Homo-oligomer: A and B are copies of this chain.
């Protein structure tokens, strides 16, 4: 077998795969079995050629004349994105936002289980949220290490976010979803994704 040229997939492509997956699940839910790049593009306000190109990075999932089989493509995308198994996630900070996340049922069906909740406030520790007991920050390291948790969500006030990030990274967390509106600094091997709605609003007002 010839040596395969190492092709690096652009991050833009990966972002779009998650978007395709979301749309494919909608199609699946309404009983559609196949979809063409043309129709998927129409639904997502994208270009058919781009969808075909993105998907072809990973293999020929479609059939000429027919399109892509919906459930097979969902299966393949879930595998590519490594969400064919469920990831356990730890949430740190049980303010209004953390509580909303703890109660939200939309993670499980898409590959993630809110599995652990932590807060520094003794008033909050011990409370139950969707069947989970809020744990003390004292137990953070031991719990995450024992359970091999690789994903954390930071929903503490900004002034504590960096310290929380340090502790999470310190016990092996590799991906952080950061709701605090500041730039975290983390080692190169850790992925951070900010969720900052204000930045998104500011972007939109530019065009208005």
B residues less than 8 Å from A132 (CB atoms): none
How far in angstroms is the closest Cβ of chain B from A9? Answer: 8
A39 to chain B, nearest CB (A): 13
Q: Which of A83-137 contact B (CB under 8 A)?
A: 83, 87, 89, 95-97, 99-101, 103-104, 106-107, 110-112
A193 contacts B by Cβ under 8 Å: yes
Within 8 A of B (CB), among A45-81: 45, 80-81
Residues of B within 8 A of A44 (CB): 183
Measured in the bound complex, the distance between the Cα atoms of B61 and A132 in whole Å is 51
* Size bracket, chain A contacts: 35 or more
Contact A201 B112, beta carbon cutoff 8 Å: yes
A15 at the interface (CB under 8 A from B): yes
Residues on the B chain within 8 Å of A183, using CB:
19, 22-23, 26, 43-45
Are A22 and B204 in contact, CB atoms less than 8 angstroms apart?
A: no
Contact B23 A112 (CB under 8 A): no
Contact indicator A206/B110 (Cβ below 8 Å):
no
Interface 9-mer from A30-38, A141-149, A174-182: A174-182
Instruction: For A178, give the chain B residue with the smallest CB separation.
Output: B200
Q: A100 CA to B95 CA in the complex, in Å?
A: 8
Q: Provided the pairs A43-B183, A203-B15 are in contact, do residues A104 and B96 lie with their beta carbons within 8 angstroms?
A: yes
Within the complex, which residue of B14, B97, B200, B208 is in contact with A177, where a contact is CB–CB below 8 Å?
Answer: B200
Binding site for B on A (CB under 8 A): 11, 14-15, 17-19, 21-23, 26, 43-45, 80-83, 87, 89, 95-97, 99-101, 103-104, 106-107, 110-112, 150-151, 153, 174-175, 177, 181-183, 185, 191, 193, 195-208
Q: Mind listing 15 A-B residue pairs with CB under 8 Å?
A: A14-B206, A26-B183, A43-B183, A81-B206, A82-B208, A96-B104, A99-B100, A111-B201, A112-B198, A112-B201, A150-B208, A175-B204, A177-B201, A177-B204, A193-B201
